[in-house]
Amino acid sequence: ISIHCGAGVLRLQSLKFLLEKMSQLEKDIVPQWMEMQRNASLLEHPDATFEIVGKQWFEGLMAGAKQALHRAINVVSSQTAYCVIYRDMQSEFLDNIYYTGVHRSCDNITSDVLPFLDGVLGYVASRLDSQSRNVVAAALLEATVSGWMRVLLDGGPARVFTSGDIEPLEEEVEILSDFFIAGGQGLDAAMVAERVAPMTALLSIMSLSTNDLTKNYEEQATKEAAAAMTGAHAPSKPSSDPNADVFNSEVTLRVICHRADHAASKWIKARFSIGKTESSGGWFAF
């Protein structure tokens, strides 16, 4: 286990300890506050059960402190997860998977990523309670999807994809989802579906033909340019849509640039006035 994961778990243990102590402190102080009010003769009868003066203020103070601790737990979990994906797994994940194509490569999510994540989650589960473990697991899933999408959209010249790659990629999405659901022992299925939704949306874009992709790009670019001129937002998707970030001209163009297709290469050269270059002679020379 890396230093990033170990340090993150240690911080989470500290935050969880503070949260538990704060809850206990709240339980101890409220009765003492009530007793102090009685002793000060601020209540007409020692057995009175109506609201104690100042109790709401203290409860609000404690609630705010606990909310701050919960936010800190979420932030630390997210930082730890992204360090695991973008630092600890940079070679295995960002540099290696699909390096020679989805079908040709023996490096993929199932073989390279999940075994490492399994070790991380095992380490986390043995040191944190189930609630904190699930927060870390959700952050790891989000970071994994982020890194995976980066591979598909910003993978460099060695990574190109075809429409035939969609089926095995969809299978890996299912495997990843099942891994985090863990037969009902892990994350909630609805939460997992929400976290992998951007990846699913991206695959739906990648499944389009080159002709449809180029048409979509022109339409999206035109709408976005018009929206920029008027200062409005492009009307591509509602802001409440969790997949809205992938339905734009930039993502569509990246998909076209990573398309192993002569028509895509020809369109890019014509659209952006790129001169002819010699064939690289690599796996996907087109």
* pLDDT tens digit sequence for 80-116: 999 999 999 998 888 889 887 887 767 789 888 999 9
Q: What is the pLDDT of residue 158?
A: 78
Task: Yes or no: say if 99 and 258 are a contact pair by the CB < 8 Å rule.
Answer: no
Neighbouring-strand partners of residue 161: 259
Task: Yes or no: say if 5 and 116 are a contact pair by the CB < 8 Å rule.
Answer: no
The whole-angstrom separation of Cα 240 and Cα 65 is 29
Q: What is the pLDDT of residue 282?
A: 43
The whole-angstrom separation of Cα 205 and Cα 218 is 15
Q: What is the pLDDT of residue 271?
A: 92
Going from the C-alpha of 47 to that of each of 29, 44, 55, 68, the distances in angstroms are: 18, 9, 16, 35
Q: Please state the separation of Cα 234 from the chain's center in Å.
A: 24
Instruction: Sketch the domain layout of the chain as residue ranges.
Output: 3-43+52-207, 210-286
DSSP 182: G
CB neighbours (10 Å) of residue 113? 23
The whole-angstrom separation of Cα 117 and Cα 226 is 44
Q: Which residues make Cβ contacts (< 8 Å) with residue 221, sequence separation at least 6?
A: 249
Q: What is the pLDDT of residue 39?
A: 67
User: How does pLDDT run across 25-46, given as a tens digit for each residue?
Assistant: 888 887 777 777 666 655 555 5
Q: Please state the separation of Cα 280 from the chain's center in Å.
A: 35
The whole-angstrom separation of Cα 39 and Cα 36 is 5
pTM reported for the whole predicted model: 0.84
Q: Which residues of the chain have pLDDT under 50?
A: 50, 236-243, 278-286
DSSP 85: I
